[in-house]
Amino acid sequence: MRARVLVPIGNGLNSNEETTYVYRQVGARVDEIHIEELMRDPARIGGYHIIDFVGGFIDGDHVAAGIIQANRVRNRLRPEIIKFIQNGKLIIGICNGFQAIVKSGILPAIDGDYTKQTATLAGNDSGRFEDRWVHLVANKNSNCVWTRGIDRIYLPVRHGEGKFTASEETLASLRRGNQDVLFYADGQGRPTMEHPSNPNGSADGIAGIADPSGRVFGMMPHREVYWSPFNHPNWPEMKIEGKLPEEGAGIVFSRNAVTYVAENL
């Protein structure tokens, strides 16, 4: 089955074009629909296999990053989104999108509860906007569909409120369920709390989490940015050394999702 992807847009989101391009490169059909249109007709969500909540500066981050979008999801879209998840479909949130689905309670969905907020994304410990590339390492025991085959990856972050924080009880649940999927790492691939490798001070070095099913996933780093090898900050040196890849490593997340749809839905 050819995957159909829904990319909600509007109100300051700005990563939709790269996101849409990548999905089309891996064979999916994509529709960008304004979030206001979805709120008027939430049932449209059911016609898709994947929802991608992209990043940007939704609502200008004026109240708190992603919180207004989270309220839209919670108050107007949540019943359809829960039905979407129960039907075995996939959701991803990147940066602003991650903030929104965490603050709406869609993630981490401890014990399968998609209605209760148990974590948040807070201001970076550095007290400033962080715009840099970071090393990430994946939890090999996670069942996350989106990160299959990933061991280590190098991606950019662009955020002022990316510090993943939760109660010790919630963090312990994430560890037990291997829902802590991606970690900020040092150059040797070891999860770290040290700045700037951990750009925001996230608890346990967490950069991304999944729900218990592994089909709903969110992370702060922008995987859609690294769609081309020429977007890597060191591409000239890589080209000289003959190490320039054919495509950007960030494409793997979308390819994993599209493959899952083809094989399971």
Active centre residues (catalytic)? 95, 222, 224
- Cα gap 78→59, rounded to integer Å: 20
- Cα gap 155→228, rounded to integer Å: 12
Could you give the count of Cα atoms lying within 13 Å of 147 in the half-sphere of its Cβ? 29
- Cα gap 177→170, rounded to integer Å: 11
- Give the number of other CB atoms < 10 A from CB of residue 143: 16
- Cα gap 98→208, rounded to integer Å: 9
Residue given tokens 């709903």 in the structure block: 216
